[in-house]
Amino acid sequence: MTGFVRLLKWILKAAVFFVLFAFALNNQQDATVHLAFGQQWRAPVTLIVLVAFALGLVVGVLGMLPGWWARRQRPAPSAPATPTAAVTAMPASPPPDGV
C-alpha cells in the first residue's frame, strides 16, 4: 500500500509542476506594476506572480515571529524535586466468569 501512496504523491507533484510550467509558458508577456511615487516595474507576468508569492511568504513569517519568540522565551517546566508517589505493582485481576 505504501508504494501506491508514494506513486500517487509523485503523480500529484508532477501534475502541479506541469500546471505551473504551462502557466509560466502561457504568460510570458510583460506587465507593468505601478509602485509608489510614480515608479513602474515592467516584468513578465510569471515573475510578478512569483515575487508576489515570495513577498507574501516573507510577510507571513514576519507576522509569526513575535509568537515564536514569545514561546521560545518561556522557561521550560521543571520536574519536581522529590518524588510525589511510589509506583507499586497492581495485582492481576481474576478472569471473568465462564472462562
Asked if the structure places residue 44 within a domain, the reply is: yes
Determine, yes or no, domain membership for 21: yes
- Domain of residue 29 covers 13-64
In tens, the pLDDT along 17-57 reads 999 899 888 988 999 999 999 999 999 998 999 999 999 99
**Residue 31 class from Cβ within 10 Å (0-12 exposed, 13-18 middle, 19+ buried)?**
middle
pTM of the model: 0.57
Please check whether residue 47 lies inside any domain of the structure: yes
Query: Is 87 part of a structural domain of the chain?
Result: no
In a domain, 84, yes or no: no
Instruction: Please count the structural domains in the chain.
Output: 1
- Residue 54 is assigned to a structural domain of this protein: yes
Out of 11-15, 24-28, 71-75, least confident range: 71-75
Higher pLDDT, 85 or 97: 97
Q: Answer whether residue 92 is part of any domain.
A: no
Considering the domain boundaries, does residue 53 fall inside one? yes
Say how far apart CA 78 and CA 72 lie, in whole Å: 15
Residue with cell 503523480: 11
